[in-house]
Amino acid sequence: MPQNIVETVINNLDEAVFLFNIKGILLFANKAGEEFLGNAPRELYDEHYKDLFSRSNDIVLLIQKALSEGRLFSCRDFILEPDKSIDFYLYPFYSDNAMEGVIVCIRETLNYIEKGDDYQFDSLLFMLLSIANEIKNPLSGIKGAAQLLRKSCAAEDMREYIDLIIREADRLNDVLHDYLQVSRPPVFNKINIHEVIERALKMMEHAIREKNAAVVKSYDPSLPDIMGDGNKLLQVFINLIKNSLESMDNTHKERKLIISTKPAAEYMVVYESSDSSSKKPKKKQRWILINIEDTGKGMPPWELEKIFLPFYTRKDCGSGIGLTLSKKIIKDHGGVIRGKSEAGKGASFNIYLPF
């Protein structure tokens, strides 16, 4: 088989694949491997495994043992970060009956903590809902009083100010309505996720045309129906599509909105408590993965960490609630939403929903 075909196959694998020589120097990494380490290809090659995997002494030690002993090693559900774990396999690499190095294969999984997960996020959300509930009733009184005042007011210039009070009260009421929607649990029915995405695209059709953006779709027709609240998930997709379109301006010659679906390569490890280091996994969950990607202006890592927090927004007229709502809706479905972005290189959101 030609070498370029073999390399193409390896580059299309979801697993990260690395080849180190007998001295521990990286000779090859596939596309998933480059993404896993987060480095540009030119920064990876000729690097030692101790430098590339410096965040995990355990991986470094096992590669060292594989190279020195010529043995196969494997590890499942290894916790790499608080919300990320991996399965990894080390294979001695032989050529002409002589050991030439080691192959490292890594598959990411997702840790999901049933209890105590996202405590800070939940606390902020509870405060937000409490405030919204307290404001809603007085706001109704303000609007009602303004409407009565308008009926009895003869001065045209005063009516203009009263109309302004009524319009702003309506606008604030719409914002509060969005906030309070968070507290309503989803109503689960069997749904086709592609039909929900298509509804969102239809509703955003005018905005897509205004931006002159090309929509690129790659749906996996083999995906089964899932249990979910179609209207709430519709809100998530509209929020993400809207954000993607707003990130593309006249400076972007190629404006693309890319939406894909497939079974997730990752599985999720569900633990019985927040202390995942001391508890055995309760179950492993398979996922549908929906990816929404754009070619907009993107954002730096420090900003990406804040986008799901209530009230955080980069927009002049934004409420800072859209992505907060989206995260809560996905969480209520037992799923996970993750963002990935670089300044000037667009943004990508992965939504994991359970089969």
Q: What pLDDT, in 10s, does the model give residues 147-206?
A: 888 787 767 777 788 888 888 888 777 767 766 666 677 888 999 999 999 999 998 888
> What pLDDT, on the 0 to 100 scale, is given for residue 20?
92
The encoded tokens of residue 246 equal 């707003």
Q: Given strand 347-354, what is the order of strands in its sheet?
A: 214-218, 256-263, 287-294, 347-354, 336-341
Place of tokens 């963002």: 339
Residue 128, CB-side half-sphere exposure with 13 Å CA sphere: 25
The encoded tokens of residue 137 equal 């009733």
3-class SS of residue 131:
helix
Specify the higher pLDDT residue, 49 or 13.
Answer: 49
| Neighbour tally for 169: CB within 10 Å | 19
The encoded tokens of residue 90 equal 């080390």
> What pLDDT, on the 0 to 100 scale, is given for residue 114?
41
> What pLDDT, on the 0 to 100 scale, is given for residue 320?
60
pLDDT, mean over the chain: 78
Mean per-residue pLDDT, 103-116: 65
| Neighbour tally for 64: CB within 10 Å | 14
String of b and e for 14-50 (b: at least 16 CB within 10 Å)?
A: ebbbbbbeeebebebbbebbbebbeeeeeebeebebe
Q: Vertex 41, ends 64 and 59: CA angle to 5°?
A: 20
Place of tokens 């380490």: 37
